[in-house]
Chain A
């Protein structure tokens, strides 16, 4: 059974800092990994999708890496802004199912002005 863990559970940084969020998964036989952002009481906004054959993906100030063999992914946020404050979730598609995403419990990020 795939299990996804995110560390840290919460992170508070001053504006302008670069930061890294970590995601690990127990079954390395994944199809892909997706990073999401969730604002309180809101939906999930897809940030980046990394295929199992890829090493990283970039979008603006965000860079996600994937090391499938070690079961790890990181989300790097450059020059953080207060608007980046949210919960960040990683989710993997694996386990023989094209349809099911297994989520981590998320990292609550607070960027202080």
Chain B
């Protein structure tokens, strides 16, 4: 079965650079979520989209922005990168916004800021 696809899987950037992560949800899933997991930490919710509109916002820095496109894929844009942004970034998707629906996670994108 198709899963959530994230790219790139690994990314190395220097401080103050910009990075873009891409997420392709499971087919027919219309809700996308972004999470950040620091080393040894639990995943922290950043932002979510339902039907291409932002649906909820968590602890996402102002330097970060995201959007969901007409084909439901999503991109997380991170600017003015800081060392503390080094983390594993997860995208997840679910079918509709129903609370009964399982959220499926991708393999994550490793971002290292040097």
Contacts and interface: CB of A to CB of B under 8 A. Distances in A.
A32 B94 CA distance: 14
Given A34-B103, A101-B103, 15 more contacts: A42-B107, A43-B90, A43-B105, A44-B90, A45-B105, A46-B103, A51-B99, A98-B98, A99-B31, A99-B33, A99-B45, A100-B45, A100-B48, A101-B35, A103-B42
Nearest to B43: A103
A42 B58 CA distance: 23
Given A97-B56, A99-B50, A103-B43, A46 B105 contact: yes
Contacts of B88: 41
Contacts of A76: none
B43 A44 contact: yes
Chain A contact patch, size range: 20 to 34
A48 B20 CA distance: 31
A36 B42 contact: no
B97 to A, nearest CB: 5
A46 B105 CA distance: 8
B106 A99 contact: no
Contacts of B50: 99
Nearest to B99: A31
Interface in B1-59: 31, 33, 35, 41-45, 48, 50, 55-56, 58
B104 interface: yes
A106 B48 CA distance: 23
A65 to B, nearest CB: 18
A42 B108 CA distance: 7
6 contacts: A43-B108, A45-B105, A46-B102, A97-B56, A99-B48, A100-B58
Contacts of B92: 44
A3 to B, nearest CB: 11
B102 A99 contact: no
A64 B107 CA distance: 24
Contacts of B44: 103
Contacts of B99: 31-32, 51, 93, 98
